[in-house]
Amino acid sequence: MPRPREFDEQEAVAKATAVFRRRGYHATSVRDLGDELALKPSSLYRTFTDKHTLFLRALDHYRSHDSAAAERRLEAAGSCREVLRDWMVWMISGAGDVAAADGCFVVNTATELGTTDAAVQQRIEAAFEVTRDTLRKVLHRGRAAGELAADLDIDAAVESLFTTVLGLRVRERARHDPAQLITAIDFAIDALRSPPE
């Protein structure tokens, strides 16, 4: 009869998420994971099969928490510009996360693994599409409320804001001056045209 597991699997995934986020996929060994999770390699393999499977679980865990928090912020009450600015500032101020200096796990993974791993790429694109869709809703809401120009090209605005956010997340990881990042945010928000008076 197999012995029952003596650890919380979800807690192990959460801890693995922090390790992968901090170190990246390639720089994280099974030994690193075992040390951080206080598990023997045999327990890791028995539960998660291999490092790649655990990495995918960690990426899913991060997405479920990070994406949900970001979506809630973008759905907050307030003017379109205020909501977008607050969300972008929140993104670069660490989103209230003590591991802020480690950057965004999804963006870090996109830059590390790019298109070399189909399962990872699928998750990255899904996360990116959630952000784009939510931005699109905010902009449609702002245009319907008369806060934005009626002829604003929303698809182009979504791509511009999304690209700005990805760049901000990379610069956050590089520990660039937050004041410079705020300047970039304000410029991006100001670029959204107001309706003519």
DSSP, residue by residue, 131-157: HHHHHHHHHHHHHHTTSS-TT--HHHH
Look at residue 148 in the predicted model and tell me its pLDDT: 94
The structural domains of the chain, with segments of one domain joined by +, span 59-190
Query: What is the mean predicted confidence (pLDDT) over 171-191?
Result: 91
Spatial separation of the C-alpha atoms in residues 56 and 67, rounded to whole Å: 16
We find that the CATH architecture of domain 59-190 is Orthogonal Bundle (1.10)
Query: What is the mean predicted confidence (pLDDT) over 15-20?
Result: 93
Per residue, what are the HEC states of 27-73?
CCCHHHHHHHHCCCHHHHHHHHCCHHHHHHHHHHHHHHHHHHHHHHH
pTM for this model (two decimals): 0.84
Q: In the chain, pLDDT over 90 holds for what percent of residues?
A: 56
Task: Give, in order, the Cα–Cα distances in Å from 159 to each of 23, 118, 154.
Answer: 29, 23, 9
Summary mean pLDDT of the chain = 87
Q: Are 47 and 10 in contact (CB under 8 A)?
A: no
Q: What is the pLDDT of residues 88-100, one digit of tens each?
A: 998 887 654 555 5
Task: Pull the structure tokens for residue 145.
Answer: 């409320």
Q: Are 130 and 174 in contact (CB under 8 A)?
A: no
